[in-house]
Amino acid sequence: MTTNDTPIEQEHWNNWIMYRSNDAANELIIHYMYLVNFHVERIASNVPKSVSRDDIKSLGLLGLYDALKKFDPSRDLKFDTYASFRIKGSILDGLRKIDWLPRSLREKTKKVDQATLELEQALQRQPSSQEIADTLGISSQEVESIVSDSLYANVLSIEEKSKNGSEGLKEGIGYSIPDDEAILPDTMLLQGEWKEELVAGIKALNKNEQMIVSLFYFDELTFTEIGQVLDLTTSRISQIHKKAIFKLKNTLTKIQNVL
């Protein structure tokens, strides 16, 4: 529940909490649908177009309904915050189970990685997306899309390992944070170093790339909202985002290996 609930919404909450009214549940789901839409747009921006938004939305709805069933109004926690964790967790868990990364994309990722390694050895520096594209005979935009999609797949894989490796974590990442997972001093040191590298990498991006990274990851705006701020189309925002992620690939990969 929130402090901004209207009397009608409060009545729906009362009917749901006291009587488990299906009608009240439906009304509350409609009211909090904006949370589902928010996470759907953010996550859909990081997965291939082959992944249906409707499927992602269905997973988010399952998370929202699960949040309604398990929410304890006596705790000092806003429902919006609680539901947001459940929705995101439900979507990520669902994506892991359906193995959304196509085999063709996995093969392309291997080719990009191999070409990148060979060019790094030959050039003694990180190759540009255009140099990798020329080597593989594809466009630089496709290279950037492949890198962006594969990095997000790695994030899901890492979160899955964290879940399976923690006996006290039974509901999946995004649902709760186990109290017994203390960060070791050496890990903290490495994370601090990678954070400094990431900040330096972001500063090296051009103005639009910096703005989009900041608005998407720190201010949590959707691509559509960022497009309205910068007066650019959503597809153009997506292109710039992928280019920025490509430039930050090495640092992001290091961070993922530490977490």
**Residues 6 or more apart whose Cβ sits within 8 Å of residue 66:** 86, 90
| Whether residue 56 sits in one domain with residue 108 | no
What's the rounded Cα separation, in Å, for the pair 117 and 225? 36
| Whether residue 12 sits in one domain with residue 83 | yes
The reported pLDDT for the residue numbered 194 is 62
**Residues 6 or more apart whose Cβ sits within 8 Å of residue 61:** 29, 36
Q: What is the CATH number of the domain that holds 239?
A: 1.10.10.10
The reported pLDDT for the residue numbered 173 is 38
* Entry pTM: 0.68
Asked whether 28 and 14 are in contact (CB, 8 A), the reply is no
Domain termination residue (choose one: 132, 159, 181) = 181
* Per-residue model confidence as pLDDT tens for the chain (259 residues): 655 667 888 899 999 999 999 999 999 999 999 999 999 998 888 887 778 899 999 999 999 999 999 998 888 889 999 999 999 999 988 887 776 667 888 899 999 999 999 999 999 998 999 999 999 999 999 999 999 888 777 656 545 544 454 433 344 434 444 444 445 555 565 556 666 777 888 888 999 999 999 999 888 899 999 999 999 999 999 999 999 999 888 777 665 555 5
The reported pLDDT for the residue numbered 186 is 56
| Whether residue 83 sits in one domain with residue 60 | yes
| Whether residue 105 sits in one domain with residue 118 | yes
> Residue 257 sits in which domain range?
183-259
| Whether residue 137 sits in one domain with residue 202 | no
| Whether residue 222 sits in one domain with residue 170 | no
Say how many domains are in the chain. Answer: 3
Vertex 158 angle, CA 189 and 172, to 5°: 110
The number of C-alpha atoms within 13 Å of 122 and in the hemisphere containing its C-beta is 11
The reported pLDDT for the residue numbered 76 is 80
Q: What is the CATH number of the domain that holds 24?
A: 1.10.1740.10
**Residues 6 or more apart whose Cβ sits within 8 Å of residue 168:** 178, 179, 180
In this structure, what DSSP letter does residue 4 have?
A: T
Within a domain: 1: no
Domain termination residue (choose one: 80, 98, 116) = 98
| Whether residue 229 sits in one domain with residue 167 | no
| Whether residue 94 sits in one domain with residue 11 | yes
Within a domain: 2: no
Within a domain: 34: yes
